[in-house]
Structure 1
Amino acid sequence: MQNLQSFASAMSRRLLREAGNLPALSGNDFASSKEIQRPLDVLSQGSGSFSAFPKSNEQITTPSLPESAENVNAANQLSAPVTQSADKESSGSKYSNWIFVLIFPAAILLILVPILVCRKRGNASMGPWRTGLSGQLQKAFVTGVPKLNRPELEAACEDFSNILNTFPTCTVFKGTLSSGVEICVVSTSISSIKDWPRSAETLFRKKIDTLSRVNHKNFVNLIGYCIENQPFMRMMVFEYAPNGTLSDHLHVKVYEHLDWAARMRIIMGMAYCLQYMHHELDPPVAVNDMRSDAIFLTDDYAAKIADVGVWKELADKAKATKEDGSSRSVSPPDLAGNVFCFGALLIEIISGKLPETNDPDCICIWAEEHLKAKSYSTLVDTSLQDHQADELEAICEVIQGCTDPDPMQRPQMRDVTSKLKAILAITPEGAGPRLSPLWWAELELLSMKSN
């Protein structure tokens, strides 16, 4: 409305200037009008929105006309239609202005409301991916990651010949997308749909949905999945961490040695990730089998936690259903057990001791006497040239709390992270990888999906 008023003022001033150029009545017009019956000049009323002449006390100033009754009547007859026309045009202009004022905001609302609604729905499904995954990838039928076809993954993994590792329950392939971004493809070892009961399929889809909600820089994020029945195939596609596992760097000599500072950064990366999974996700998520060989390292030695226990869980579910027909529901996340595994990992990281079995209790029993005696330095890896005594003490206190035999006495991960951050002074940005090709992998997978 302010713009319309400004426009009206400008046009009024312009018309006022033009009014000064209109021809005036000649001096002999009155005399000649008695002899020649010429048509009466009709005063212009402009467009109907603005007056064509200057106003004086809100009245239009008109030239003097003859006082004869005939001329007056003629003037009245001619001016009446003009006035009516002006009124109609004026009301039509006002009506057009109101239409503009009402329709324009309505059109904007019609455009914005669907966008806002879609954005809200998209954020609800992609919330866990708010730090990484683009919103266009939230279009799968059960999850926030895209469903991929076998030929796409087969081409990326070189006909599934590029095998990274083989386990009793799954096979791990390395793939390379056309953009050069590397991916990790994990496939179940089950090769027939007859050995894959409905309960296993339900669990598989629930796991996809759960892992798709996790988006953290220190987690091996799920970026796609594949479901094929002919031939049978169940696959998950993860981002790739190219620098091996934490176990490799702690226990295999050919891998680069980790100094004290690097180990502290790995500890903080794991702590931030578990805090996010336990306290920022709803419902919370726990890593089923957190071991040093399930902690992968990036190019700059940032930790990335992988949930490798999902495949064993799937195989156990399929086996139990096949043998006794049981179909037990998925158990709730064991957060206290997750905290215990974190404490056991801290012992392995600072000591460099290789656990004898996959059971974390063994290494906790070994460290217990040193922790009770507070002889913390005896736990430090002998290959380390130096370490910070105050940092070691804080870590050992965290270990004692996390490995408490009573799960109810174990601290929550937010408390563990807060205590470690206070002494190690490593921020979430400092513990995360500096460069990540995850976005490029997601972008190409989106392109593959759309094609």
Structure 2
Amino acid sequence: MGFPLRLLFFTLLSLLASYSLSLNNEGRYLMDLKNGLEDPSNMLANWDDRDRTPCNWTGITCTTTSDELSVTSVDLTNYGLVGPFPASLCRLPNLSFLSLQLNFINGSLTNSSSSGLSSCTSLLHLDLSLNLLVGPLPDSLSSLPLLRHLDLSSNNFTGPIPPSFGMFPRLHNLTLVYNLLTSAIPSFLGNLSTLRQLSLSYNPFDPAGTIPPSLANLSSLQTLWLAGCGLVGPIPPALGSLASLANLDLTFNSLTGRIPNELAAGLASIVQIELYNNSLSGPFPSGFSNLTALRRIDASLNHLDGQLPADLFDIPLLDSLHLYQNRITGEIPPGVSRSKTLVELRLFGNRLTGTLPADLGNNSPLMLIDLSDNQLSGEIPASICDRGLLQELLLIDNSFSGSIPDGLARCRTLTRVRLSNNKFSGDIPPGLWGLPHVWLLGLDGNSFSGPISQTISGAHNLSILTMSDNGFSGSIPPEIGHLPSLYQFSAANNGLTGPIPPSLGSLAKLGQLDLHNNSLTGGLLTNIDSWAKLALLNLADNDLTGTIPPQLGNLPVLNYLDLSGNILDGEIPTQLQNLKLDRLNLSNNQLSGSIPPMYKSEAYRTSFLNNPGLCGELAGLCPGLPKDSRRHGRSTSLLFALIFALAGIIVLVIGVGWFYLRYRKFNKAKLGSNKSKWTLTSFHKLGFSEYEILDCLDEDNVIGSGASGKVYKAVLSSGEAVAVKKLWGSAKNVDKAKDDAFKAEVATLGKIRHKNIVKLWCTCSHKECKLLVYEYMPNGSLGDVLHSGKGGALDWPTRYKIALDAAEGLSYLHHDCVPAIVHRDIKSNNILLDAGFGARVADFGVAKAMEAVENGPKSMSVIAGSCGYIAPEYAYTLRVTEKSDIYSFGVVILELVTGKRPIDPEFGEKDLVKWVCDTLEEKGIIDHVVDTKLDLPLYKEEISKVLSIGLLCTSSLPISRPSMRRIVKMLLELGGEDDANSKPKAKQQQQQQEQEQDGKLSPYYFEDQDVV
């Protein structure tokens, strides 16, 4: 072979070798995906175009097809990828599984860049949930011939469900939960004969929409989830024909009418029926005992009436029955004691009468019984814990009588026992005092007698002990001071005697100690350095003697102190002035000396009554000294004090005046040096000029200061007041941020017109200074009012209206602005209040428009927002979505309810959200979290429900947070139907007492969680 031929031969071999080692076509398609998306976490680092095939790459699975490996699965779940949908994926000929769940895939699926979805003809499974997709649902998906699973939940799809979605040939699972879909649930979905799961929950569908009866045609359907869809009207009886249905969830709607009997007759495979939080009425139907797979029924928070069907507890596998807060009457069927599967029984808040079966608990593995707020009577069955599994027994507000059975005292699994407000009597069995796992023991409002047993030392988890309004006697055992978790000890209105045991002073978690109206003797405790969390101390109306210990003044969070009606003597310690007290009462003692200066005010006039030895303006002249000697002693000291005070004031006034005049002259010269170079941009018709604004920028007009600028109050010549925000910064490294804030706020506010968004009148800009001129809000910010001495001016109706106003403002930003606007710094200081305490959302310095641009939204380079308000996922991912605003708004709701700041030393390492959740879990009643300035008994129902909304908004999972439109609807439902903007209607005291559950938080807006 000649040299040229050999050279040609080796060249061909080299080319063939290099070709055989290069990446195949499927790999190149996947490299197109990698190049088209941002990968901030470098999750696709091992995707290398030098490989022969992509079969070993992260997230890629290959199978052998036609004697060669081919990509059949792409699973990039939670990779943090950013960018538009990668259409190149659909060029993989054998791709059957595709999941891009929990990324930042953005843009629309109907534009040209993603129209390639219709080419994914081999797809069986498509999951694009938890992304940022927008626009309408794509029609082309129904053309995928093999598609079985389609999950597009938790995106921002808008518009109606398209008719093409009724034409999937083989679809098993359709999930569109948590989008922005509108119109009504279409009847053509009943054409999907192969469908096994239909999940459309939490979309803003037409509020007048109904459940299409055509869904009864889905003979293979196993799950129907239509929660929070704005549905009205009755439940179609035809749904009873769904013989394969296992899970039915129609919660959080406005469904009316009766629960159809057909459900009991036809749902042969049903496991779970959830109908709570609707307006269903009529009796609960009979016949469910025929449903052999049924385990859970929850139809609470409706208007059901009538009696419970006799066969209700004959359902063979029933383990959970929730029918609380309805209007059910009659007795509990005796069949409840025969059930061998019942675990949870929640019937509280009804009108049940009669007694409990004597053998209740003998056969059932009962773990939770809540029959509170009914009209039940008789004794607690002795067998109630015979199976040894009972954890919670709640019988509040009934007419139960008799003594506590010994069997209950031996029930060591108990964690919560609430027997308040009944007619129980007799001694408490010693074993009940010392149950090792009980953290709440409520015995108050009965006729119990006898002592507190020393066996209480065994109750190591006891956190709340309420035993007020009984006939308990004897001394408080020292062993009660050995309970490390004790937070509340309330034993008022009993016959307790003897001293307060010194061991109580070592309880580091004690927050409330109420022993008033007993016959306690001895002195007050002095070894109380551990009481760092004590907020309430009420020892009134006892026989306590001695002096008031100065150590009380060192308690950091004490705000309620009542020592009245005792035999205390001596002087009032000046250290008490360290306390921030909402209530102080030292009346009806034998105190003497001078009242501390802080308490010599009208606010404390009734705090020192009937202490004849006290000296002060509130208690008369000091006894025991001649008037002349007192007057002479004072006159000399007053003379010297006046001389020094006057001299100091004169020097101070002269100095301050000189500095002020020099500063004002300098400031005006700086601002007015070149007024002609100021540029005014107006957004409304103005009655003033920029020069009038500039003349008002004096330091004596400053009304606030924040991270982005200083705010002035400018009173114009017309008498109108405006607020002027002067942005910070002069150094070069600050100018860029200042310019960005200025442009963002102008771009946002300049085009907004809403009653609950602060109005931007105009902007004034200069190369060295930028001003924003807003409408003036006389009552300042919500944060300033709520967390200052003015907080008492915000009663509950006002706070509710503020929450509703702010919610409507945010809803406008999220749902009505095009493109939608995410504020990114919602907090109480950015909610301003007008003269009538109407609320406006303000400060858009960090707002961003969530536009579907070609390259998609980016993650923020820094965390925007304020400490305590930032959503958990935002702090880690810097992902900007409207769910971040909803979390922050939830924190504001918690501020309104609790009166506390988002971050407070009282919480330790927790924030407000964590503190509220933990307190409710530990204490079980909302009394411990509601602001003491609020009239809780009058507004308990409304406050409970608003608190529930706040906790729902602050869910750790973004998917669990409702949209702002849904939040507005929930708040409006509390305000009455006659006036959408009305304040919540307070119930009359009698009605409140009938419906109240000893402070129980209603699970009004909770899903699958019990917080009490």
Q: State the TM-score, normalizing by the size of structure 1.
A: 0.53
Structure (1/2) with the larger helix percentage: 1
Q: Tell me the amino acid that sits aligned with residue 419 of structure 1.
A: M
Q: Percent identity?
A: 26
Within-5 A mapping of 1:132-143: none
Deviation at 1:420, TM superposition (A): 1.3
The separation in 1 between residues aligned to 2:734 and 2:686, in whole angstroms, is: 22
CA deviation map 1:101-125 (0-9, x unaligned): xxxxxxxxxxxxxxxxxxxxxxxxx
2:914 — aligned with what?
A: 365
1:343 is the counterpart of 2:890: yes
The separation in 2 between residues aligned to 1:429 and 1:332, in whole angstroms, is: 36
1:414 is the counterpart of 2:962: no
- Cα separation, partners in 2 of 1:420 and 1:370, compared to 1, 3 Å: farther
- Cα separation, partners in 2 of 1:314 and 1:159, compared to 1, 3 Å: farther
The separation in 2 between residues aligned to 1:315 and 1:143, in whole angstroms, is: 31
- Cα separation, partners in 2 of 1:205 and 1:142, compared to 1, 3 Å: farther
CA deviation map 1:182-229 (0-9, x unaligned): 1111111213568524x7635632431112122222222211111101
CA deviation map 1:412-435 (0-9, x unaligned): 01111111111123624879xxxx
2:929 — aligned with what?
A: 379
For residue 903 of structure 2, give the secondary structure of its aligned residue in structure 1.
coil
The equivalent position to 1:356 in structure 2, one of 903, 912, 924, is: 903
For residue 743 of structure 2, give the secondary structure of its aligned residue in structure 1.
helix
The separation in 2 between residues aligned to 1:398 and 1:254, in whole angstroms, is: 25
Within-5 A mapping of 1:103-182: 144=683, 151-155=690-694, 157=696, 162-182=701-721
1:423 is the counterpart of 2:423: no
The separation in 1 between residues aligned to 2:843 and 2:910, in whole angstroms, is: 20
The separation in 2 between residues aligned to 1:418 and 1:172, in whole angstroms, is: 34
The separation in 2 between residues aligned to 1:194 and 1:367, in whole angstroms, is: 40
The separation in 2 between residues aligned to 1:216 and 1:395, in whole angstroms, is: 24
For residue 263 of structure 1, give the secondary structure of its aligned residue in structure 2.
helix
1:222 is the counterpart of 2:760: yes
1:183 — aligned with what?
A: 722
- Cα separation, partners in 2 of 1:406 and 1:390, compared to 1, 3 Å: same
For residue 178 of structure 1, give the secondary structure of its aligned residue in structure 2.
coil
- Cα separation, partners in 2 of 1:155 and 1:144, compared to 1, 3 Å: closer
The separation in 2 between residues aligned to 1:209 and 1:314, in whole angstroms, is: 21
The answer (yes or no) to whether the contact 2:693–2:716 under 8 Å persists in 1 is: no
Within-5 A mapping of 1:155-304: 155=694, 157=696, 162-191=701-730, 195-197=734-736, 201=739, 204-229=742-767, 232-254=768-790, 257-304=793-840
Deviation at 1:244, TM superposition (A): 2.3
CA deviation map 1:311-342 (0-9, x unaligned): 9x99999xxxxxxxxxxxxx985311110011
The answer (yes or no) to whether the contact 1:204–1:314 under 8 Å persists in 2 is: no
2:545 — aligned with what?
A: none
The separation in 1 between residues aligned to 2:760 and 2:776, in whole angstroms, is: 10
For residue 196 of structure 1, give the secondary structure of its aligned residue in structure 2.
helix
Structure (1/2) with the larger strand percentage: 2
The separation in 2 between residues aligned to 1:274 and 1:316, in whole angstroms, is: 20
1:307 — aligned with what?
A: 843
Q: Tell me the amino acid that sits aligned with residue 250 of structure 1.
A: L
For residue 172 of structure 1, give the secondary structure of its aligned residue in structure 2.
strand
Q: Tell me the amino acid that sits aligned with residue 179 of structure 1.
A: S
Deviation at 1:154, TM superposition (A): 3.8
- Cα separation, partners in 2 of 1:146 and 1:398, compared to 1, 3 Å: same
CA deviation map 1:115-151 (0-9, x unaligned): xxxxxxxxxxxxxxxxxxxxxxxxx999856899995
- Cα separation, partners in 2 of 1:153 and 1:193, compared to 1, 3 Å: farther
- Cα separation, partners in 2 of 1:407 and 1:294, compared to 1, 3 Å: same
Q: Tell me the amino acid that sits aligned with residue 292 of structure 1.
A: S
The separation in 2 between residues aligned to 1:215 and 1:429, in whole angstroms, is: 22
- Cα separation, partners in 2 of 1:141 and 1:150, compared to 1, 3 Å: closer
For residue 215 of structure 1, give the secondary structure of its aligned residue in structure 2.
coil
Stretches of structure 2 lacking an aligned partner (at least 5 in a row): 1-678, 848-859, 865-877, 985-1012
After the TM superposition, which of the residue ranges 419-428 and 271-280 deviates more from structure 2?
419-428
For residue 268 of structure 1, give the secondary structure of its aligned residue in structure 2.
helix
- Cα separation, partners in 2 of 1:166 and 1:200, compared to 1, 3 Å: closer
The separation in 1 between residues aligned to 2:891 and 2:694, in whole angstroms, is: 40
- Cα separation, partners in 2 of 1:244 and 1:390, compared to 1, 3 Å: same
The separation in 1 between residues aligned to 2:946 and 2:793, in whole angstroms, is: 20
The separation in 1 between residues aligned to 2:688 and 2:863, in whole angstroms, is: 26
Within-5 A mapping of 1:326-341: 334-341=881-888
The separation in 2 between residues aligned to 1:403 and 1:316, in whole angstroms, is: 18
CA deviation map 1:235-290 (0-9, x unaligned): 11111101122223222115652111111111111111111111111112222222
The answer (yes or no) to whether the contact 2:704–2:711 under 8 Å persists in 1 is: yes
For residue 299 of structure 1, give the secondary structure of its aligned residue in structure 2.
coil
The separation in 1 between residues aligned to 2:914 and 2:755, in whole angstroms, is: 32
The separation in 2 between residues aligned to 1:315 and 1:348, in whole angstroms, is: 26
Q: Tell me the amino acid that sits aligned with residue 272 of structure 1.
A: E
- Cα separation, partners in 2 of 1:309 and 1:210, compared to 1, 3 Å: closer
The separation in 1 between residues aligned to 2:689 and 2:699, in whole angstroms, is: 10
For residue 171 of structure 1, give the secondary structure of its aligned residue in structure 2.
strand
1:392 — aligned with what?
A: 943
The answer (yes or no) to whether the contact 2:722–2:775 under 8 Å persists in 1 is: yes
For residue 190 of structure 1, give the secondary structure of its aligned residue in structure 2.
coil
2:75 — aligned with what?
A: none
If asked which structure has higher relative contact order (CA below 8 Å, sep 6+), I would say 1
Q: Tell me the amino acid that sits aligned with residue 757 of structure 2.
A: F
Q: Tell me the amino acid that sits aligned with residue 274 of structure 1.
A: L
Stretches of structure 1 lacking an aligned partner (at least 5 in a row): 1-139, 318-330, 432-451
CA deviation map 1:358-384 (0-9, x unaligned): 9x9710000112445752333211122
The answer (yes or no) to whether the contact 1:288–1:310 under 8 Å persists in 2 is: yes
The separation in 2 between residues aligned to 1:151 and 1:143, in whole angstroms, is: 10
The separation in 2 between residues aligned to 1:213 and 1:316, in whole angstroms, is: 26
- Cα separation, partners in 2 of 1:145 and 1:208, compared to 1, 3 Å: farther
For residue 915 of structure 2, give the secondary structure of its aligned residue in structure 1.
helix
The separation in 2 between residues aligned to 1:315 and 1:193, in whole angstroms, is: 19
- Cα separation, partners in 2 of 1:191 and 1:368, compared to 1, 3 Å: same
Deviation at 1:397, TM superposition (A): 2.2
For residue 187 of structure 1, give the secondary structure of its aligned residue in structure 2.
strand
Deviation at 1:171, TM superposition (A): 1.1
Q: Tell me the amino acid that sits aligned with residue 949 of structure 2.
A: V
The separation in 2 between residues aligned to 1:275 and 1:224, in whole angstroms, is: 24
After the TM superposition, which of the residue ranges 233-242 and 369-378 deviates more from structure 2?
369-378
Q: Tell me the amino acid that sits aligned with residue 957 of structure 2.
A: D
- Cα separation, partners in 2 of 1:393 and 1:182, compared to 1, 3 Å: same
Q: Tell me the amino acid that sits aligned with residue 259 of structure 1.
A: D
How many positions carry a matched residue from both structures?
Answer: 275
The answer (yes or no) to whether the contact 2:686–2:761 under 8 Å persists in 1 is: no
For residue 175 of structure 1, give the secondary structure of its aligned residue in structure 2.
strand
Deviation at 1:388, TM superposition (A): 2.0
